[in-house]
Structure 1
């Protein structure tokens, strides 16, 4: 019986989801909203314009197969970013910097793993909340895996603290330019308004994430057999490192340059709108600097880079196929149908229930639209007039979008960043799902309470526009 209940390989699971998505295009009514081009050049749907297609188009198995290479092309920026990071980090490992850093951290936190877990969750959540960092965490994964291994923890703990910080930071973000600011602009409420509530709930939600990861880590410390990945090989191999090199001057220079690279990346994202191509270039430059300072020959550095990139081939495959799921639904013209169908029931319930319903809908839609900004442009134009109709402040609709997009980022298999993180750590999606689902449910429950209270106390009512956004447009059907 256990054989039939076993979760399949992550790649098999993702391809199965592509097949299900293709079948859904044969069953779900095909339709679309009209779109309008905004001042920033992005397209947003127009409420009240949903229409079914005149004649259903059936995707064939051949189109399913061609969607796979198209998906790889669509996700090429993430795929190559991950592979470049793998190569660069392999060079850094060859200099002994990673081992020296782990040795120093063990000296400081070896007897206080709870402090390490809290610091990682808190710092990553702060960065995601402030500047929308996500893929930038991928370079830290193997370092945290190695550190956890040395502290008698496991790869799941390393990924747990990383992803919990990332997801919670997005969910309760105060100023994330890729989610909060875009959603507030569409809702026509002052940009960065309502920050007081988002700042107030930041620490409580971080503590929820920390408690979940630390509770698991304590079980692993008590008995390694409790590890959810005890049946899997460690991505770093089975070799135990008894001693660690001293943190020499060249190691410190490499670590300082790494911090500097992260700072340059953060500045470029915030000021110049950089994304993965520019981020990749920054890490290539850091890799070259590392090879020089670490006194590695050019041939050795080249081979280490290739070795590191090859180690992440599986991760690249997962990212590409994950993108194919949403690509199939776009080709089959059912993406807007799903958005339209999910929004309809909200008009028949009370304000408090509707606010929680918005959270549920945004969570479900994140599976189909894993881009935070993309989801804002598709869903917020529909949720804003709906919130006006139900006498819900638009600020609450923005908050529901944040919660739904951010928290579900931690578990949806169509999220390329998540698949990259668990792929690098060697954790199958099924194992990760079992670890993350309880955390997601805790966060969703807490978010529901916040939304209900926000409606009760008219959160955002003071900045509510007098004229409904898109007042010349009809309400959703």
Structure 2
């Protein structure tokens, strides 16, 4: 009798991907583009400068092992942010605020879970599209898990609405400063140009995401055994038939300070370029305020904080290992080779197909360069001149980059924020992949249609910079490498 196939643990899957990445560095040609520093200190590749490495550098199993602690060091900002958020939320739960909030929300929305799902997806997408929020949603995950559980939903639904919200937001962003503006600057099209189309796409793409998550949620409501995580423990415990405390003035004051903290974080991100270190400081400050307002003694707060951190140890480990995959590819000097090789076929197909090809390339490359701004600096210097050669407006090339980066953020295991969210919610990566892949395909299909129509109707032609096409020799260099 054959044994049923058992999907490996997420940690096993991620480490296996590191091994595959190491083997790929033995096979894929090693090479690189010349690079230059921008005024902001970021490194951008120079088109037409791809060269093969003179000597192949073989990574050894020892380098694979040393990549693990290096990856933890490289991902320390998101790891420590997750620890801080987990600890501070545990303090807030100790005051009864989180349970009181859930009880109040259940009073108002227990009979309308579809409204909750749509509101979370829509508002998260607006925030991500405006200021590039993603990791900032981590504090909401356990709250949404508890709320979904109380509504007879599951943690997969909570993760679905959270990740779909920021994935759609990044994908159709009108003016995300970390993706859209950087890509438009590199492509030499005016900042914020073409915004009308991106604004028009927000609602349709949110509806696609909402339909996917709500369709799954309906199955769970009808039959709890249909849940994809029915056999797993819920990270917030058994909360069935729980008596929630009333939302008193102290709880409201703690929630008010939470909103102020989020507001300060958003202001810092948009005006001063804050990121995870500063956000972590904001939440530490909120944790101290919560301790005082909730009338906890510092020993109680410390115990709760440590327990919250302990609960997220697995999540932190997964985030670190996920970063190791990209690290191996960088060490093996094949990242630029992958970018170069994927771009070659685009010059041999019609413009509409090239636009779709750009979407596919950006989606694949997000596995290796999960940073949105990092991907822009690596790919847009190549895609912009290539789009001129194949007759695709540069604005469309920017849109293809947005779609590829944003939507695939929902599924690539090298995305530390994704691994943090599913880890906190107790959702294994393989089950999340099974849930999210159909949604990704729906969004990609819609994106492909938008891109092809954008080429047909000349989206961005009004802001296309005047370009002097390179002579045949230079085109050959761009397509084949020097």
SS where residue 430 of structure 1 aligns? Answer: helix
Contact 1:384/1:469, CA 8 A, preserved across alignment: no
Alpha-carbon separation, structure 1, partners of 2:265 and 2:109: 28
Q: Could you tell me whether the CA contact under 8 Å between 2:322 and 2:416 is conserved in 1?
A: yes
TM-score (norm 2): 0.97
Say if 1:468 and 1:410 are closer, same or farther in 2 by CA, change over 3 A.
farther
- 1:240 offset after TM fit, Å? 3.0
Alignment of 1:30-109 (within 5 A): 30-109=30-109
User: Contact between 2:388 and 2:467, CA under 8 Å: does it hold in 1?
Assistant: no
Q: 1:312-461, aligned counterparts within 5 Å? A: 312-461=312-461
Tell me, in whole angstroms, the C-alpha distance in 1 between the residues paired with 2:352 and 2:22. Answer: 35
Question: What CA distance in whole angstroms lies between the structure 1 residues aligned with 2:391 and 2:363?
Answer: 22
Cα distance in 2 between the residues matched to 1:146 and 1:237: 9
Cα separation, 2, equivalents of 1:393 and 1:20: 36
1:256 aligns with 2:250: no
Contact 1:187 1:469 in 2 (8 A): no
| Alignment correspondent of 1:132 | 132
TM-score under structure 1 length normalisation: 0.98
Matches within 5 A, 1:63-212: 63-212=63-212
Aligned positions, number: 477
Unaligned runs of 5+ in 2: none
Q: CA deviation at 1:3?
A: 4.6
User: Which residue, out of 460, 478, 481, partners 1:475?
Assistant: 478
Shift of 1:470: 9.8
Encode CA deviations 1:139-176: one digit per residue, 9 max, x unaligned: 00000000000000000000000000010000000010
- Residues 1:468 and 1:120: Cα distance change in structure 2 (over 3 Å): farther
1:239 Cα shift? 4.6
DSSP-derived class of the 1:141 partner: helix
DSSP 3-state at the match of 2:366: helix
Summarize the Cα distance change of 1:97–1:241 in structure 2 as closer, same or farther, 3 Å threshold. Answer: farther
The equivalent residue for 2:311 is 311
Is the 1:385–1:468 Cα contact (8 Å) retained in structure 2? no
Distance 1:241 1:421 in 2: 26
C-alpha deviations, 1:254-280, integer Å up to 9, x for none?
111111111110110110000110000
- Indicate if the aligned counterparts of 2:370 and 2:414 stay in contact, CA closer than 8 A: yes
Matches within 5 A, 1:196-275: 196-275=196-275
Distance 1:241 1:285, change over 3 A: farther
C-alpha deviations, 1:356-384, integer Å up to 9, x for none? 00000000000000000000000000000
Residue in 2 aligned with 1:463? 463
Q: 1:242: Cα distance to partner?
A: 2.1
The secondary structure found in structure 1 opposite 2:234 is coil
Distance (Å, rounded) in 2 between the aligned partners of 1:367 and 1:311: 27
Matched-pair contact (CA < 8 Å) for 2:29–2:334: yes
Change (3 A) 1:394 1:209: same
SS in 1 for 2:478: coil
What's the offset of the Cα at 1:129? 0.4
- The DSSP-based 3-state class of the residue aligned with 2:367 is helix
Q: In structure 2, the residue corresponding to 1:36 is in which secondary structure? A: strand
Instruction: State the Cα distance separating 1:6 from its structure 2 match.
Output: 2.2
Contact 1:14 1:413 in 2 (8 A): yes
Whole-Å separation in 2 of the counterparts to 1:282 and 1:91:
15
> Separation in 1 of the partners of 2:462 and 2:247?
54
**CA RMSD of superposed structures (Å):** 1.4
391 and 314 in structure 1: CA distance in 2 versus 1, 3 angstrom threshold: same
